[in-house]
Amino acid sequence: RKEVEQDPGPFNVPEGATVAFNCTYSNSASQSFFWYRQDCRKEPKLLMSVYSSGNEDGRFTAQLNRASQYISLLIRDSKLSDSATYLCVVNSNLNKFYFGSGTKLNVKP
């Protein structure tokens, strides 16, 4: 079983739509959680960390559910520039990082 699982998509949405991604992780002892964004053939870049209480950054909201071991990312008012692959990342208690295989988002005019 993979440490981190994501729906690969693609999610095809119109501009202005709200879209949500989920990610599940298998290690209940995981300590830190992140969403990264990766554009085609480029390096991943941090979108946001995910905190237990949930957190928001502009149009992006991240939630963590430790009991069910899943993380979510909500994007409101999607822009064309949001088209990318979104990577769910989990840090285990051994300083190792586990990445999901990514969810591809296509925002269309």
Partner 1 sequence: EAQVTQNPRYLITVTGKKLTVTCSQNMNHEYMSWYRQDPGLGLRQIYYSMNVEVTDKGDVPEGYKVSRKEKRNFPLILESPSPNQTSLYFCASSNDRTGGSYEQYFGPGTRLTVT
Positions touching partner 1 (CB under 8 A) are: 4, 8, 31-32, 34, 41-46, 49, 87, 91, 95-102
Q: What distance in Å separates the CA atoms of residue 19 and residue 106, rounded to the nearest whole number?
A: 11
Sequence-distant (6+) residues with CB within 8 A of 74 are 18, 19, 20, 60, 61, 62, 63
Q: How far is the CB of 97 from partner 1 (least distance, A)?
A: 5
* Pick 18 or 31: Cβ nearer partner 1: 31
Q: How far is the CB of 15 from partner 1 (least distance, A)?
A: 28
